[in-house]
Amino acid sequence: MKANVVGSSTLADMTIGMHARVSKVHGQPALRHRLLEMGMTPGCCVRLVRVAPLGDPLDFELRGYHLSLRRDEARNVVVEEL
């Protein structure tokens, strides 16, 4: 299921050093629940710190810790650039 809506961007679209605010979390119920439990909640500010050499996973900083997500998982989190 593709969560990307026209005119919106996701965590997967971010570039290194970019700051964004989470708008909405989509996905299958289990994945959505896991992302929310890890702190990826609407209103949370995130920053893309680094990307692995082959482009997957992505390393984000949020709430004082680092979270690595696969690009497919990151596509489920809609963000607004700050």
8: pLDDT confidence band, cut at 50, 70 and 90? confident
Q: Where are the domains of the chain?
A: 9-81
Tokens representing 42 are: 């609407």
The CATH number of 9-81 is 2.30.30.90
Give the pLDDT confidence of 16-70 residue by residue, as tens digits.
Answer: 999 999 999 999 999 999 999 999 999 999 999 999 999 899 999 999 999 999 9
DSSP 39: T
Give the pLDDT confidence of 66-82 residue by residue, as tens digits.
Answer: 999 999 999 999 999 98
> How many Cα neighbours within 13 Å face the side chain of 59?
10
